[in-house]
């Protein structure tokens, strides 16, 4: 059974750093396209970043240069390193995997809340 | 970035109603579009991929259509468990962008 479990969220001051983790089971993270999607409180969904099975990465303009997506094959875990955090980064962060044949985001984690505030 | 405009932003409907939600892209995106359902406090759920393909396990009352710039999600007979917010997503090019969402409420 596919499972995605995020962790690492919390309260952080503006300018601070945080690393989110997404522990996967039931499939191999490094063999799939994996993304982070976020949702500010009471707002819509925003795609944040993707890492391809081959290792290529892409980012939303709003986080480019501040966030880094990565993975650890041994731990079967996806990460999002977030630096220079701003109040507008406050959101629930979801990790999601792609399936086959164009099935974008066929499985999602439960989300982890990041609050950027002084 | 490609803008995805969903309409309506909200609607009220009754059980058994046929519901249609549209999504318009600011430029052509072929059929690189998906539809997601989200209930309060939960992660989104994939309903439709590549504009018209039904995700495994999703009831057949959900259908998608469209290509290029105009897309539609249809629920043929609304059920109590379908009251939720629906989002479209274009993955034609980066940055991928979601529509602003359509909240389907009980009339």
Question: Scanning every residue of chain A, which has its alpha carbon at the shortest distance from the alpha carbon of B42?
Answer: A110
Q: Which residues contact B17 (CB under 8 A, 6 or more apart)?
A: B77, B78, B107
Distance from CA of A104 to the nearest CA of B (A): 7
Distance from CA of B14 to the nearest CA of A (A): 24
Distance from CA of A4 to the nearest CA of B (A): 11
Choose among B45, B95, B100: nearest Cβ to A60. Answer: B95
Q: Which of left, alpha, beta for A111 (phi over 0: left; psi -120 to 50: alpha)?
A: left
Q: How does the average pLDDT of chain B come out, rounded?
A: 97
Give the separation between CA B49 and CA B38, rounded to whole angstroms.
Answer: 16
Whether residue A101 is predicted with pLDDT greater than 80 in this model: the reply is no
Partners of residue A5 on adjacent β-strands: A23
Mean pLDDT over residues A16-22, rounded?
Answer: 98
* A:B CB pairs within 8 Å: 56
Give the separation between CA A19 and CA A21, rounded to whole angstroms.
Answer: 7
Choose among B46, B95, B100: nearest Cβ to A105. Answer: B46
Sorting pLDDT into bands at 50, 70 and 90, what band is A102? confident
Chain A residues in contact with B89 by the CB 8 A cut-off are 45, 47, 104-105
Tokens of A74: 């041994």
**CB within 8 Å: A44 and B87:** yes
Q: Which residues contact A83 (CB under 8 A, 6 or more apart)?
A: A17, A66, A67, A68
Tokens of A86: 């701003």
Distance from CA of B95 to the nearest CA of A (A): 5
Read off the pLDDT of residues A39-78 as tens digits, 9 standing for 90 and up.
Answer: 999 999 999 999 999 999 999 999 999 999 999 999 999 9
Residue A110 touches partner B, C-beta closer than 8 Å: yes
Question: Scanning every residue of chain B, which has its alpha carbon at the shortest distance from the alpha carbon of A94?
Answer: B43
Give the separation between CA A94 and CA A77, rounded to whole angstroms.
Answer: 13
Strand A18-25 to B102-106 pairing: unpaired
Read off the pLDDT of residues B2-38 as tens digits, 9 standing for 90 and up.
Answer: 999 999 999 999 999 999 999 999 999 999 999 999 9
pLDDT of the residue at A10: 98
Tokens of B105: 């409420």
Whether residue B41 is predicted with pLDDT greater than 80 in this model: the reply is yes
Question: Scanning every residue of chain A, which has its alpha carbon at the shortest distance from the alpha carbon of B102?
Answer: A44
Question: Scanning every residue of chain B, which has its alpha carbon at the shortest distance from the alpha carbon of A93?
Answer: B43
pLDDT of the residue at B72: 98
DSSP string, A24-82: EESS-GGGS-EEEEEE-TTS-EEEEEEE-TTS-EEE-TTTTTTEEEEEETTTTEEEEEE
Which value, to the nearest 10 degrees, does the dihedral of the CA atoms of residues A25, A31, A32, A34 take? 70
**CB within 8 Å: B1 and A108:** no
């Amino acid at each position: 059974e596919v499972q995605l479990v995020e962790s690492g969220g919390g309260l952080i001051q503006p300018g601070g750093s945080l690393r989110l983790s997404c522990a996967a089971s039931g499939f191999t993270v490094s063999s799939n396209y994996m993304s982070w999607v976020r949702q500010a409180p009471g707002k819509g969904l925003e795609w944040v970043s993707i890492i391809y099975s081959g290792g290529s990465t892409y980012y939303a303009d709003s986080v480019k240069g501040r966030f880094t997506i990565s993975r650890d094959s041994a731990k079967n875990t996806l990460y999002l390193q977030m630096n220079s955090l701003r109040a507008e980064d406050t959101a629930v962060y979801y990790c999601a995997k792609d399936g086959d044949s164009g099935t974008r985001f066929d499985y999602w984690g439960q989300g982890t809340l990041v609050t950027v505030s002084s | 970035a490609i803008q995805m405009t969903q309409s309506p932003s909200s609607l009220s409907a009754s059980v058994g109603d046929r519901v249609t939600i549209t999504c318009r892209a600011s430029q052509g995106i072929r059929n690189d579009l998906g539809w997601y359902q989200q209930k309060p406090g939960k992660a989104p759920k994939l309903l439709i991929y590549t504009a018209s393909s039904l995700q495994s396990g999703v009831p057949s009352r959900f259908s998608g259509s469209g290509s290029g710039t105009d897309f539609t999600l249809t629920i043929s007979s609304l059920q109590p468990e379908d009251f939720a917010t629906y989002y479209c997503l274009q993955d034609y090019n980066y940055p991928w962008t979601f529509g602003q969402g359509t909240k389907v409420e009980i009339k």
